Structure 1
Amino acid sequence: MHDTPRLIPLNDALAPLGVSRASAYRLAGAGLLEFRKIGRGTFVTAAEVARFVSSAPVAKIAPPRR
């Protein structure tokens, strides 16, 4: 039996992705984020959200100044 990927509506995926709707479409156009179109809806798989977030660089935070 095949596992069906969990689909997240694009609007619900924006916060976990940390981007605006316009930025999400720019990322998709650049091939950095993959969408699924079903009917009129635009979705992102949960696996794609996890892949995108884990591929982001680790933030380099300077220690506080004294």
Structure 2
Amino acid sequence: MRYNEPVKPLFALSMPGMGELMVILVIVLLVFGASRIPEIARSLGEGIKAFKKATKDDQEHK
């Protein structure tokens, strides 16, 4: 007997839901503390900005 249904992967990446985001937020708060969260977010934003600038500069040189 053959099945025409596609095989689903055992592990598929998808966007986390609200529950998962809340768990991640609680873990981050416990690990780093509330006072360091703005500093971490600022550093992450600066890193993303630098990465975007570097990829844009690289595309312009091609």
TM-score tier after normalising by the smaller chain length: 0.3 to 0.5
Higher strand share: 1
Q: TM-score with structure 1 length normalisation?
A: 0.31
Q: Which has the higher contact order (CA 8 A, sep 6+)?
A: 1
Greater radius of gyration (CA): 2
